[in-house]
């Protein structure tokens, strides 16, 4: 599985003869599981058509700040939004002209504006003739771009458009993909690690129609799974009934219904993982007896005998070896006291506390507000954030403690 799976790739195309290779490059990114958007300089359209790259990328191609809308109105192509969308940006081919502009902050087309707006890692793959590539000004541009943190994909030697043989030939698309994948892998802190995450509610059957459940959507657990995959981990996501979806090939989704189902699946994977984060809202009790037929309404009142479900988190705390174990605590009162008690009683390394008293936190919300407590009872408080940002905060705490 490619580390590019699920990533947003912004491809910048400039006016070099090697632009014809970008059609194959886009195909390879798509094959690796990435989403691709293409930004072209106006002159590059003389070498490869926007229609070709749009068709292959399944996205519009951008080349100017304004486009004509369906009603004849001018629609703005935001360089800022494109820059923020990308996980990685690749400028290929990168001509001597564009390299000089990029290195000196010149911003006279959309591609250069997007480059200056990008918050992500930027790769650049030069293309030019031998003497142009060897020129001191080109070498200076490349060195300056590298000093900014941009990553240089050096051209190969070979037959050039001028008829000369030497350096300046843009690297082949397959080799560029391999270069980028290897560079990303080196920087991923959870590469070759396995992470187990639980999410969503559990449903405890009363009869074939009814169940005991809760309002958990599973969103927090799914965001944790996505973040773990983005950090390079192989993820086992054990989810109760949830409408949330994932498409990252690093995430292996295992669907369950009841607490018993979740207990069995979690224990199946726990011994082989490095980190386990149990964010699911597991039912504490289940009906003692489950009717095999729908229970008919026969009186004003009905009572159901309940028994405790297996405590999944506590069971993992008892058998854990080197795994880093994280639990969640959703509280309504005495929050810190209850969370610390759970942390210690269940032999956890971290506990993530959220309170239903906090506005914007809790079930079926897009946001969450958490407090993280480690096994030494050090407390880290975080403000209200999107659940994707909360997932980043949780993994940042794990990684800072060097337990990954």
- Identify the pLDDT of residue 66: 73
In the three-class reduction of DSSP (H, G, I as helix; E, B as strand; rest coil), residue 284 is classed as coil
Contact between residue 82 and residue 109 where contact means Cβ atoms under 8 Å apart: no
Which of 164-168, 237-241, 242-246, 298-302 shows the lowest per-residue confidence on average (mean pLDDT)? 164-168
Label residue 373 by pLDDT band (50, 70, 90): very high
pLDDT reading at 112 higher than 60: yes
> What would the mean pLDDT of 353-377 be, rounded to a whole number?
80
> What tokens were used for 154?
């050096």
- Identify the pLDDT of residue 403: 55
- Identify the pLDDT of residue 393: 95
- Identify the pLDDT of residue 69: 59
> What tokens were used for 240?
């109760």
Round to whole Å and give the CA distance between 132 and 100. Answer: 12
- Identify the pLDDT of residue 1: 65
Label residue 73 by pLDDT band (50, 70, 90): low
Active site residues: 214
pLDDT reading at 363 higher than 70: no
Of 153, 285, 161, which Cα lies nearest the Cα of 213? 285
- Identify the pLDDT of residue 72: 59
Contact between residue 388 and residue 229 where contact means Cβ atoms under 8 Å apart: no
Q: How many CB atoms lie within 10 A of CB 293?
A: 8
Q: Radius of gyration of the chain from Cα atoms?
A: 27
> What would the mean pLDDT of 223-227 be, rounded to a whole number?
95
Contact between residue 374 and residue 401 where contact means Cβ atoms under 8 Å apart: yes
Q: Is the dihedral of CA 358, 360, 366, 369 positive or negative?
A: negative
- Identify the pLDDT of residue 12: 97
CATH number of 8-187: 3.40.50.1950
- Helical ranges in 109-249 per DSSP H: 110-117, 130-134, 136-147, 173-187, 219-230
Which of 17-21, 71-75, 322-326, 347-351 shows the lowest per-residue confidence on average (mean pLDDT)? 71-75
pLDDT tens digits for range 248-294: 878 999 999 999 999 999 999 999 999 999 999 999 999 999 999 99
Round to whole Å and give the CA distance between 335 and 95. Answer: 59
**Helix/strand number for the chain, H first, E second:** 13, 24
Mean pLDDT for all residues in the chain: 91
Residue given tokens 């050039």 in the structure block:
160
Q: Which residue has the higher pLDDT, 363 or 372?
A: 372
pLDDT reading at 164 higher than 90: no
Q: Does the 194-400 domain belong in CATH 3.40.50.10300?
A: yes
pLDDT reading at 77 higher than 70: yes
Residue 51 to residues 38, 41, 111, 134, Cα–Cα distance (Å): 11, 14, 18, 34
pLDDT reading at 357 higher than 70: no
pLDDT tens digits for range 175-192: 999 999 999 988 889 988
- Identify the pLDDT of residue 299: 81
> What would the mean pLDDT of 110-114 be, rounded to a whole number?
95
Label residue 402 by pLDDT band (50, 70, 90): low
- Identify the pLDDT of residue 65: 79
Give start-end residues of each CATH 3.40.50.10300 domain in the chain. 194-400
């Amino acid at each position: 599985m490619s580390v590019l799976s699920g990533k947003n790739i912004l491809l910048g195309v400039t006016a070099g003869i090697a632009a014809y290779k970008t059609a194959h490059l886009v195909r390879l990114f798509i094959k690796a599981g990435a989403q691709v958007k293409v930004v072209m300089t106006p002159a590059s359209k003389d070498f490869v058509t926007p229609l070709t790259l749009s068709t292959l990328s399944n996205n519009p191609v951008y080349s100017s700040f304004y486009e004509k809308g369906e009603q004849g109105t001018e629609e703005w192509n935001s360089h800022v939004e494109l820059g923020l969308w990308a996980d990685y940006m690749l400028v290929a081919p990168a001509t001597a002209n564009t390299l000089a502009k990029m290195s000196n902050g010149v911003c006279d087309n959309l591609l250069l504006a997007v480059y200056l707006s990008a918050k992500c890692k930027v790769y650049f793959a030069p293309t030019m003739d031998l003497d142009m590539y060897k020129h001191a000004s080109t070498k200076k541009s490349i060195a300056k771009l590298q000093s900014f943190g941009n990553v240089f994909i050096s051209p190969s030697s070979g037959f050039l458009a001028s008829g000369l043989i030497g350096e300046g030939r843009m690297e082949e698309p397959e080799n560029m993909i391999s270069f980028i994948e290897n560079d990303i892998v080196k920087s991923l802190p959870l590469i070759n690690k396995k992470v187990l995450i639980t999410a969503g509610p559990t449903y405890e059957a009363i009869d074939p129609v009814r169940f005991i459940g809760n309002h958990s959507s599973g969103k927090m657990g799914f965001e944790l799974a996505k973040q773990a995959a983005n950090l390079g981990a192989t993820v086992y996501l054990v989810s109760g009934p949830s409408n949330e979806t994932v498409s990252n090939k690093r995430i292996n989704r295992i669907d369950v219904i009841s607490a018993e189902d979740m207990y069995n699946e979690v224990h199946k994977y726990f011994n082989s993982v490095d980190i386990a984060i149990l964010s699911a809202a597991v039912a504490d009790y289940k009906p003692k007896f489950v009717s095999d037929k729908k229970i008919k309404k026969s009186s004003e009142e009905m009572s159901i005998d309940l028994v405790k479900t297996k405590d999944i988190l506590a069971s993992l705390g008892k058998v854990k070896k080197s795994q880093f174990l994280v639990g969640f605590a959703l509280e309504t009162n005495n929050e810190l006291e209850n969370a610390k008690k759970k942390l210690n009683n269940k032999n956890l390394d971290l506990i993530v506390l959220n309170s239903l008293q906090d506005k914007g936190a809790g079930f079926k919300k897009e946001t969450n507000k958490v407090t993280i407590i480690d096994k030494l009872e050090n407390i880290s408080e975080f403000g209200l954030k999107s659940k994707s940002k909360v997932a980043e905060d949780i993994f940042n705490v794990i990684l800072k403690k060097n337990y990954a």
